[in-house]
């Protein structure tokens, strides 16, 4: 962000976050990627919600930006879209 462009939008925030992570020590980026993977494995439902389209937009973009910025592009892991399925409630149905 330059002095002329002081916009505080979500994409400027995410671009700044990506730039900081991408410029950091590769070992620290690798550690962050491993922490994200461990969280995704240990708390799968929470992680998929946080990175899915059901999450608030900022959280969705922030998690995905952090994930992509901390590992080489070839190692980025696409996350599946979470779809809510309409189900008929069990029990007495009229």
How much of the chain, in percent, has pLDDT values that exceed 90?
23
50 lies in some domain:
yes
Q: Answer whether 0.85 is exceeded by the pTM.
A: no
33 lies in some domain:
yes
Point out the residues of the chain with pLDDT beneath 70: 1-6, 73-94
| Contact (CB, 8 A) for 69 and 42 | no
As for how many domains the chain has, the answer is 1
81 lies in some domain:
no
Distance CA(1)–CA(44), nearest Å, equals 35
20 lies in some domain:
yes
59 lies in some domain:
yes
Domain hosting 30: range is 10-75
93 lies in some domain:
no
């Amino acid at each position: 962000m330059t002095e002329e462009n002081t916009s505080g939008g979500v994409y400027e925030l995410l671009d700044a976050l990506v730039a900081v992570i991408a410029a950091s020590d590769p070992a620290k980026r690798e550690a962050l990627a491993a922490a994200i993977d461990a969280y995704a494995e240990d708390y799968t439902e929470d992680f998929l919600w946080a990175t899915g389209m059901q999450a608030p937009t900022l959280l969705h973009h922030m998690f995905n930006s952090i994930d992509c910025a901390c590992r080489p592009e070839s190692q980025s892991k696409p996350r599946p879209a979470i779809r809510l399925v309409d189900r008929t409630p069990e029990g007495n149905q009229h």
